[in-house]
Amino acid sequence: MRLLSFVWGSKQRVGAYVNNVVMDLPETYMRIYETDNAPNFLYDMKSLIEGGEPIMQLIRDLINRALKSGNAVVRDPASITWLPPVTNPEKILCVAVNYREHGKESSAKPLDRPYFFPKFPNALIGHKQPILKPRASKQVDWEVELALIIGRKGKYIDVDRALDHVFGYLILNDISMRDWQFPSKEPYGMDWIYGKSMDSSTPVGPYVVTKDEIEDPHNLRLTLRVNGEVEQDDNTKNLIFKIPELIHWASQGITLKPGDYISTGTPAGVGFPRNKFLKGGDVVEAEIEGIGTLMNTVIEE
């Protein structure tokens, strides 16, 4: 399934992307079951994920029944406001230097374990929402990444059980303010907070693809285009630390919870080494095989 969060009218809700349209799940539920109310989890993706397999089976049954009966309430994807699939995560964890070629272009050596840094919910935006180029930064860069959403709570998770904790996969564009990320070499080096978490600097989506639909997350082509020009082009088979290892390390001393995002790192092709940065009006398309395309336009603050 491809599940998304969106606004229709004035209310946030959960939808399913089916046959190139968005099935409005709460409205479909009310039509199918002839009721005036829909469950709260059809309005909040994190609540849906927290419900586990019983809720997922209900969603599958609802979609199948709506398709067979012709009673689905659908929306034109162009007419909705797309939101981050999970709008209220507790954690957003990203990984630095997880592709060797990106390490080379960044003059950074991979470590013997993943190096995580946080992003904040204020940075999250959805598909087709604008990337805000802050007036505080002149060096706004792109980073296409495969990300996942945690589906099951866990701590000190074993590598061989790690994928059991994945709900699904999506695209994350780790927009980075390089002049804030690398203010100087002294005394502290990098600023991961201001360099990575300014407002509207983390597009995610366009929806989350449940893990049963991704046969091998370690063999997906990922590309990023700016105004149609390819800037990044690689494959997740080249990840240094694979997804089970990332989940294992991320859960050391930190409890991972349903709705948390973990992003797997970006390949080579970022703009910083070439002194190439985003400007107002640029159209950024991040695409991952088997998932889709996340598109955002840059606007000047």
For residue 181, what pLDDT is reported? 83
How does residue 107 score in pLDDT terms, banded at 50, 70 and 90? low
Q: Residue 290 pLDDT > 70, yes or no?
A: yes
Q: Which residue has the higher pLDDT, 192 or 126?
A: 126
**Which tens digits make up the pLDDT trace of 159-176?**
999 999 999 999 999 999
Is the pLDDT reported for residue 270 higher than 80? Answer: yes
Residue 24 CA to residue 71 CA, distance in Å, equals 11
Evaluate if residue 288 carries a pLDDT over 80.
yes
Query: What are the structural domains of the chain?
Result: 2-82 (no CATH), 87-300 (3.90.850.10)
Is 70 exceeded by the pLDDT of residue 106?
no
Torsion angle of alpha carbons 239, 241, 244, 246, nearest 10°?
A: -110
Q: Which amino acid is at 85?
A: P
Nearest residue to 167 via CA among 59, 64, 239, 29 = 59
Q: What is the DSSP letter of 38?
A: -
Radius of gyration of the chain (CA): 19
- Tell me the pLDDT band of 84, cut-offs 50, 70 and 90: very high
Which pLDDT value is given to residue 92? Answer: 98
Q: State residue 183's pLDDT score.
A: 76
Mean pLDDT taken over the chain: 95
What is the distance of C-alpha 63 from the center of its chain? 23
pLDDT tens, 173-194?
A: 999 999 878 776 656 677 878 8
3-class secondary structure, 284? strand
Is it the case that residue 129 has pLDDT exceeding 80? Answer: yes
**Quick one: average pLDDT of 228-244?**
97
User: E-assigned strands of the chain?
Assistant: 2-8, 11-18, 21-24, 74-75, 81-83, 92-96, 115-119, 124-125, 131-133, 140-141, 144-150, 166-173, 176-177, 202-210, 221-226, 229-235, 261-263, 283-288, 292-300
Rounded alpha-carbon distances, angstroms, from residue 181 to 74, 184, 189, 191: 42, 9, 9, 5
pLDDT the model gives residue 191? 83
pLDDT grade, residue 105 (50/70/90)?
Answer: low
